[in-house]
Amino acid sequence: MASGKSPPGWSPSFENTLTKHMNRVQICLREAWRWSQLDHPNITPLLGLANLREVARNAPFQLCTVAPWATHGNIMEYIHSAALSLPEMFILLRDIAAGLVYLHSVEPTPFVHGGLNGNNVLVFRDRSQSQGRIRACLVDFGLSGMWNEDESTVDVTAMALRGNPRWLAWERVEPAKYGIPNASLSITVHSDVFEMMRTFFQASIVSTL
């Protein structure tokens, strides 16, 4: 390298690919670190990161977040199987709201969930209480879900559309229609609140089935 020559096998395209991969990893690590700093009864704690390649045969390098196992599954599965009363369901919906209020109160920059729906709300039994109250906790925040080596670029448009379009805020589906020049700018505390209300609607539909 002292002579200014590139090492064998090195090429501009390889360097560009490596840079893109490293940028993506750095984004995931940054968001995972932010998640690890959260501390609230209605936020699922982050236990760490894992490489899928180390636990699954022939799997690609893939950063995955690790969280506690939710024995009751997500809120949609739990509501469908537990035959909750209306007051009991409202308690879980209140948990969702409390978790989101906490995220948006993080300083100096509010933590935007960016993908809130019924599948991203886990249900745990609270062992700290004698009655063992069921508790809903938010999970799967922002960019911290995973990174795959096959994804060579950071696609902010894809991230803005992360999740099922049925539950996304309208400005995230069609940002230009609402005067938003960049798709990534459509992910805000306001879109989170909209998606929380749709999650409530989603849960209420399941409870009637």
Domain extent at residue 106 = 12-207
C-beta of residue 72 within 8 angstroms of C-beta of residue 78: yes
What mean pLDDT value characterizes the chain?
A: 78
Mean per-residue pLDDT, 111-124: 91
Q: Residue 5 domain-assigned?
A: no
Q: Residue 3 domain-assigned?
A: no
Q: Residue 118 domain-assigned?
A: yes
Q: What are phi and psi of 62, to 5 degrees?
A: -150, 120
Q: How many domains does the chain have?
A: 1
Angle between helices 189-207 and 75-82 (to 10 degrees): 20
Question: 178: domain CATH number?
Answer: 1.10.510.10
Give CA–CA dist 142/32, Å, rounded: 9
Give CA–CA dist 4/95, Å, rounded: 59
pLDDT reading at 68 higher than 90: yes
Q: Residue 138 domain-assigned?
A: yes
- List, in order, residues 6 or more apart from 115 with CB less than 8 Å away: 140, 141, 142, 162, 163, 195
Q: What is the CA radius of gyration of the chain?
A: 20
Q: Residue 172 domain-assigned?
A: yes
Q: Residue 175 domain-assigned?
A: yes
Q: Residue 77 domain-assigned?
A: yes
Give the pLDDT band (50/70/90) at residue 188. Answer: confident
Mean per-residue pLDDT, 9-28: 60
| Alpha helices (H) along the chain | 12-36, 75-82, 86-104, 156-160, 170-173, 189-207
Give CA–CA dist 183/202, Å, rounded: 25
Q: Residue 6 domain-assigned?
A: no
Give CA–CA dist 115/103, Å, rounded: 13
Report pLDDT for 138: 97
Span 120-167, pLDDT tens digits: 999 998 765 546 789 999 998 754 333 344 444 334 433 444 556 777
Q: What are phi and psi of 90, to 5 degrees?
A: -60, -35
Report pLDDT for 151: 46
